[in-house]
Amino acid sequence: MAYDYDLVVIGAGSGGTRASRLSAGYGARVAVVEEGRLGGTCVNVGCIPKKLFVYAAHYGEDFADAAAYGWDVAAPRFDFARLRKHKDVEIARLNGVYAKLLDDAGVTRIEGRARFVDAHTVAVGSRRIRAEHILVATGGWPSLPKTPGIEHALTSNEVFALDRLPERVVVVGGGYIAVEFAGIFHGMGAHVTQLYRGELFLRGFDGDVRRALADEMQKRGVDLRFRCDPTRIEKTAAGLRLTLTDGATLDADAVLYATGRAPNTRGLGLEAAGVKTGNAGEILVDEFSRTNVPSVWAIGDVTDRLALTPVALHEGICFARTVFGKEPTKPDHRDVPTAVFSTPSIGTVGLTEEEAREHGEVKVFKASFTPLRHTLTGRKEKTFVKLVVDCASDRVLGAHMVGPEAGEILQGLGVAVKCGVTKAQLDRTIGIHPTTAEEFVTLRQPVA
C-alpha cells in the first residue's frame, strides 16, 4: 500500500516536535500538522511565558530586600505592558527556532487542523494525507466548570495576553497552575484571592509541602480561601462580582480559572480510526504509547499519563526509537522530578510520605529554617526540606523542598533518587556551605 509519509504527527508541541525530528533522523519520511503556533502549550501559553512572569514577579521582593544589603533603590515601578511586549518577542523567536529545527531535520510542516479519516489517513482541510503511522500529540486544553457567568473568566490560554495588570485578581483552583499564578499576580502588585473547593490545595503532593506552601503564601498576603468555590460570576460597572458557596460576594477585576486541563481530542475524529479513549477523552495507550489501533500512537498530555513537558519529550524519544530505530523502548514514568514555580517554589521527586507509608515502614527527615539571605532582610520566610527513607533498604524514596530555587536543587537529587541513592550515601556526601542544598546531606535525626 502506498503512503505519502511513513509518519504523520498531529501537533507540533514539545513531544510532537521531538518525535518528528528523531523519526526523520532514522530515515523516516515525516510530516507534522499544527493548527496553532509551533511549540505547543509549553512555548506559547505554558512553561516558558509562565517562568518569565515568575521572574518578573520576584523583582518586587528583590528591590525591597536590597536595602538590607546596602543598596538604595529608587521607588520601583512595574510596567506590565512592557513585560508582555518582551515576552511576545521571545515567544516569537522560539516559534522560529521550532520551525528551523523541523526544517533542518527534513520534516514537512503542514498548517491546519488534522482530522482522522481512517486508521492511516488524516484530512487537513480538503487535503488527505496517508501515512503508515500516525502519532497524536495534541496536548491538553483548559477545562472549565459550568458555573453561571464562566464566560467572564480567563484561563491560562488568555492570561498571557492581558493588556494591563488587574488590581484585584481571583484565582480559582488548587493545582500547580493556580498556585503559580496566585504568586505571579501577587508579586506584580495585585491583590490576590485564591479559592479552592478542597481542604488544601495541591492534592497529590506531600502533605507537609502543601501546608508549608500555604503558610508562606499567607505570610506574603495572598488571601487563601479553602472549602470555597464560586457559584456565579457577574459583570458589574466596576468589574466582576463572584458569589461564593458560603453566600459571600467578592469583587475583582479579573478571574482566572485554573481548574484542570483535559486531553485535547475533541474534533480529531478518533472514532473514524477506531481509537479508544477514556472518560475524560484521553487516548488510551499501552506501555509503548501505542493505541488499540496498531497504526496510531499517542504521547504527552493527550494520554492519561504524567502531564509534564519533559515527560512528553521522553515519550517522543521512546516512540521514535521503538518505531523507526528498531529499539523497542518503554517510557519510564517512575521517580520523575518536577517543580511548581509557586512563590516560594516547590521541588519534588519520588514518593510522598503518604504514598511511601502505603508500601511499608519509613523514616522521615525534615527541617524548616530561615534562609541565610533573610537573616539580614528580616523576612519571616521559611525554607522546608524533607526526605522519605525506606526502613528496610535505607533507600531514599522521596525528596521534597519548598523554597527559593527548589527546582534547581531537586534536579540534582532527582538523579540520585533515580539511581537508588541511600540515606547512608547522602550522609557520606559533603555539603556545599553555605547553601540550602547542603541541608539534604546534613539531615541526621528522623522525626518521631
pLDDT of residue 220: 97
Burial (Cβ within 10 Å: 0-12, 13-18, ≥19) of residue 122? buried
Domain 338-441 sits in which CATH superfamily? FAD/NAD-linked reductase, C-terminal dimerisation domain (3.30.390.30)
pLDDT of residue 237: 96
Query: pLDDT confidence of 151, banded at 50, 70, 90?
Result: very high
CA-to-CA distance for 240 and 185, rounded, in angstroms? 17
Please say whether the beta carbons of 139 and 301 come within 8 A: yes
Query: What distance in Å separates the CA atoms of residue 289 and residue 277, rounded to the nearest whole number?
Result: 13
For residue range 269-281, what is the model confidence (pLDDT) as tens digits?
A: 999 999 999 999 9
Rounded distance, CA 233 to CA 172, Å? Answer: 12
pLDDT higher than threshold 90 for residue 248: yes
Query: What is the pLDDT, as a whole number, of residue 448?
Result: 83
Give me 363's grid cell: 523514616
Check whether 1 has a pLDDT greater than 80. Answer: no
Segment 141-162 mean pLDDT = 97
Domain ranges of the chain: 5-141+262-323, 150-259, 338-441
Angle between helices 14-25 and 80-104 (to 10 degrees): 20
Amino acid 129: pLDDT: 98
Encode pLDDT of 292-323 as tens digits.
999 999 999 999 899 999 999 999 999 999 99
Please determine, for residue 258, whether its predicted confidence score (pLDDT) is greater than 80: yes
Checking if the pLDDT of 8 tops 80, the result is yes
pLDDT of residue 37: 97
Cα-flanking dihedrals φ and ψ of residue 153, to 5°?
-90, 155
Q: Give the mean model confidence (pLDDT) for residues 393-421.
A: 98
Find out whether 390 and 362 touch, Cβ atoms under 8 Å. yes
pLDDT higher than threshold 80 for residue 442: yes
Average pLDDT on 196-201 reads 98
Q: Hey, which residues are catalytic here?
A: 433
What average pLDDT does the segment 72-79 reach? 93
- Per-residue cell: 422: 541511600
Average pLDDT taken over every residue of the chain: 97
- CATH value of 5-141+262-323 in 2.60.40.420, 3.60.10.10, 3.50.50.60, 3.40.50.410: 3.50.50.60
Mean pLDDT of 139-146: 97
The domain made up of 150-259 has a fold known as FAD/NAD(P)-binding domain (3.50.50)
Q: What are the pLDDT digits (tens) for 318-370?
A: 999 999 999 999 999 999 999 999 999 999 999 999 999 999 999 999 999 99
Q: Identical fold at 5-141+262-323 and 150-259?
A: yes
Per the DSSP assignment, residues forming a β-bridge with 399 are 349, 387
What does the alpha-carbon distance between residue 197 and residue 177 come to, in Å, rounded to a whole number?
15
**What is the average pLDDT across 31-52?**
98
Between the alpha carbon of residue 181 and those of residues 171, 176, 256, 384, the distances in Å are: 7, 9, 9, 21
Q: Read off the pLDDT band of 41 (50, 70, 90).
A: very high
Phi first, then psi: what are they for 395, rounded to 5°? -75, 140
Mean pLDDT of 180-193: 98
| pLDDT at 335 (0 to 100) | 98
